[in-house]
Structures are given as C-alpha cells and as structure tokens.
Amino acid sequence: MSRSGKPFLVVNPKSYLYGKKSLELALETDKVAADTGLAIYYTCPYADIRMIRENTKHVIVCAQSMDPLVPGRGMGHVLPESLKEAGADALFLNHAENPKTVTDLYKTILRAKELDMITIVCADSVVEAKAVSCMDPDIVLAEPTDLIGTGQVADDSYTIETCKAIAQVNPDVLVMIASGVSTAEDCYNVVKLGADGTGATSGILNAPSPAVRVREMAEAILRAWRERN
C-alpha cells in the first residue's frame, strides 16, 4: 500500500474491546470515516480482524502487531500472510506493551512492505523516533511511554521538535503524536502543531459516548489540518 493518507486518526481499543463490542465501535467509526472522508485506522485483536473487515467499508483495519516469519515453521507466531488474508491493511509495531528488537522490527517492516501493508511504528523518544524513521515505516508514533493512558499530553515543544526531527531524517514518514491524547481539543492541538495524525484508547473508551468522541476527534483533526494548510 502506498504511503497512507493524511491527516488521520487511529481508534485503538487495544484489548479492552473484542468480539461484538469491538464490532459495535468499528461500525460507528466506519460511519465517521464515511461522513468525514478522514483516514481512520481501527485496531482490534487478531481473531476479530476478519469480522471487522467484512462488516466495514471505510476504516483501515489495523493489526496490533506482526512477526517477520514466512509461511512454514513458526508455531505460535503471527504470520503476515494470515493477517493480510484476514483483512488487515495496517499494523502497529513496537508498542510499549509489545516491543520488538531492532532486528525483528526492521525485518517485520520489510515483510509488511512485501504484502503492501501500512506500518505504524512506535518510539518513546525523539532519538528513537529518528532511528525508527531510518527503517522507512509509513508512520512513526512518537509517544513518551510514561504518558500513555494518563490523559496528559506531551508539551507543545515535544510535538514540534519531534515532527521536525523526523522530517529531517525521512520526509516521507508521517508523524503521529498520541500519548495522553484524550479529547478533540488534544487532537486539534497536536495536528495544528505539525503532526500528521493522532489517536487514542482511554480518551475514546472512557468518553460518555465513544462513538461521539471519535466523531469529535475526526472533525477536530480536519479543522486543524485545514487551518494549518
């Protein structure tokens, strides 16, 4: 898949939602993607990928990770071809809750390219974000690990510095700033400051209406993008 569209939103329930509940939010997110035209990624557990893909038309279905193996041996690992055939067009890699070695990360990015899958690769510092950018993923998610799930967004200088640093290393890589992002205002601010996209977990799931929060975030991202450009 060619470089992903921008701006974008990642709806990331992690493993808090699965099965029917995951599908319910995916369907609502699909409506938002259709109404706004925004590129929206929806992550789900491996076992739910096919169900989400077969019941949505507009979201980009995103796997939570992947391993660099090829068909054959590899009992218990996540086979890239299996994810692709199930309907995943994107994947997270190197999240703080499931980190990879440098060797495996690079090999997995290469395998994703072979299968035309979008890669969102996590980094917990500006230095790591620059290093990851050299591996040529589609998106670098730069987020201080200690802010994940706290509702506290990284300060403006972090967003500005990170966006500039990644652009200097690899201008083709899109930048996602997300740790602590909880509200539509947070989404607006990080995109206005230079990020290509953002996303959330607790900020969406803990909202009075997760579906409404997704719509608010999508509209805020688009507003910031229009004003910035």
> Which three-class secondary structure string do you get for 14-49?
CCCCCHHHHHHHHHHHHHHHHHHCCEEEEECCHHHH
Catalytic, 85? Answer no
Taking the C-alpha atoms of residue 160 and residue 152, their distance in angstroms, rounded to an integer, is: 17
Q: Measuring CA to CA, how many Å separate 99 from each of 50, 175, 212, 213?
A: 25, 19, 31, 29
Judged against a pLDDT cut of 90, whether residue 141 lies above it is answered with yes
Question: Of all helices (H) and strands (E), which one includes residue 162?
Answer: helix 156-169
Crossing angle (nearest 10°) for helices 156-169 and 184-192: 50
For the segment 45-70, the average pLDDT, to the nearest whole number, is 97
Residues 82 and 174: their CA atoms lie apart, in Å, by: 26
- pTM of this prediction? 0.94
Q: What is the mean pLDDT of residues 110-122?
A: 97
Out of 95, 114, 219, 227, the active site residue is: 95
The chain-wide mean pLDDT, for the chain, equals 93
* pLDDT at 28 > cutoff 80: yes
Look at residue 148 and tell me whether its pLDDT is greater than 70. Answer: no
* DSSP helix/strand/coil, 166: helix
151: pLDDT confidence band, cut at 50, 70 and 90? low
133, pLDDT greater than 60: yes
Does 153 score more than 70 pLDDT?
no
Is 3 a residue whose pLDDT tops 90? no
pLDDT, position 96 = 87
Q: What percent of the chain is modeled with pLDDT above 70?
A: 93
Condensed to tens digits (0 to 9), the pLDDT of residues 155-207 reads 888 899 999 999 999 999 999 998 789 999 999 999 999 999 999 999 999 99
> Mean of the pLDDT values across residues 122-141?
94
Burial 143-160 (b: 16+ CB within 10 A, else e): bbeebbeeeebbeeebbe
Tally Cβ neighbours within 10 Å of residue 172: 10
Q: So what's the pLDDT on residue 179? A: 76
pLDDT at position 150 is 52
pLDDT value, residue 173: 97
d(CA 120, CA 168): 19
Q: Quick check: 79 pLDDT over 80? A: yes
Query: Hey, what domains does the chain have and what are their CATH numbers?
Result: 8-228 (3.20.20.70)
Out of 58, 81, 128, 143, the active site residue is 143
95 is catalytic: yes
What whole-number distance in Å separates Cα of residue 153 and Cα of residue 142?
Answer: 12
Report the alpha-carbon distance of residue 22 to residue 186 in Å, rounded.
24
- Kindly report whether the peptide bond that precedes residue 7 is cis, defined as omega within 30 degrees of 0: yes
| Three-state SS letters, 103-161 | HHHHHHHHHHHHCCCEEEEEECCHHHHHHHHCCCCCEEEECCHHHCCCCCCCCHHHHHH
Are 7 and 227 within 8 A, CB to CB? no
pLDDT above 50 for 1: no
- Per the CB < 8 A criterion, the answer to whether 200 and 11 are in contact is yes
State the pLDDT at residue 180.
82
pLDDT for residue 155: 81
Asked whether residue 212 carries a pLDDT value surpassing 70, the answer given is yes
Q: pLDDT band for position 145 (50/70/90)?
A: low
H-helix or E-strand containing 190? Answer: helix 184-192
Residue 124 binned pLDDT confidence (cut-offs 50, 70, 90): confident
Query: Which DSSP helix (H) or strand (E) runs through 174?
Result: strand 174-177
How far is the C-alpha of 83 from the C-alpha of 143, rounded, in Å? Answer: 26
